[in-house]
Amino acid sequence: MLPEADIQATLRRYFDLLQDHVSAEAMMDVVLTPDFETGFQGGKLWRGLDGLREFLAAREGFFDERHEVREILSTSEDGGDTIVSTRLRFFLRRWEPPSAHSEEFTGDALHT
């Protein structure tokens, strides 16, 4: 099992890249593996490079964002894979024309 410090560092690196709006390929090159999965407990799950592309495309309109892992809820291993569940605080902002104002989305989510 990975030490919690390594898990925290990997999550921080992932969210930094996400907030910098890099490509799926760049994220895979820097911090992710081909068997990458992300999703929300009880909700949508994205898998691999194609899933990551779909996930990033769905978030295309956000220009200002922050993600903070508030708590690691659990860690486990499944066939050599590390599975991490967290409580995540997020802030997202987007603007869509012709609106005079941007929209903000904030909250906490359970994230795997």
- Specify the number of domains making up the chain: 1
pLDDT tens-digit map of 18-35: 999 999 999 999 999 898
Q: Is 14 helix (H, G, I), strand (E, B) or coil?
A: helix
Q: In the prediction, which pLDDT does 25 show? A: 96
CATH code of residue 34: 3.10.450.50
What pLDDT does 74 receive?
Answer: 94
Amino acid at 33: T
Strand ranges (DSSP E) for 1-112? 37-39, 45-47, 62-78, 81-94, 103-111
Residue 85: name the closest of 67, 76, 77, 73 by CA: 73
pLDDT at 41 over 70: no
Domain range enclosing 31? 4-111
* Bridge partners of residue 104, in order along the sequence: 93
**Which tens digits make up the pLDDT trace of 49-69?**
999 999 999 998 899 999 999
Q: How many percent of the chain have pLDDT more than 70?
A: 99
